Amino acid sequence: GNSVTQMEGPVTLSEEAFLTINCTYTATGYPSLFWYVQYPGEGLQLLLKATKADDKGSNKGFEATYRKETTSFHLEKGSVQVSDSAVYFCALSVMDSNYQLIWGAGTKLIIKP
């Protein structure tokens, strides 16, 4: 079946630290991969996406590369800010599931000044 596994949180970092949030997946077929972010008290927003192997999605200083050989889509940022504090969700969609999103459990990120 299709599934997404994310590293458990919370992840606590100091401002300007390097961030990695791990995400691995299992999927039938060729999934599209997404990172969504949820700021406190808000809905989910798409952060970035990648639709085929070796694609790199990027936005707001965040990056993730679609690695088919390791079935991973790790989220990285070179220098985090307090405003990056949020919950980050990794997700995939596949055609044979009618493009439903399969979600990871989310990783809470806390950035301390």
- We find the least distance from the C-beta atom of residue 6 to other proteins, in angstroms, to be 9
State which of positions 29-88 bind other proteins (CB under 8 A).
32, 34, 36, 42-46, 49, 51
CB 109 within 8 A of CB 13: yes
Q: Is 103 in the site for other proteins (CB under 8 A)?
A: yes
Stretch that binds other proteins, among 13-21, 64-72, 78-86, 103-111 (CB under 8 A): 103-111
Candidate residues 53, 82, 105, 110; the one interacting with other proteins per rule CB under 8 A? 105
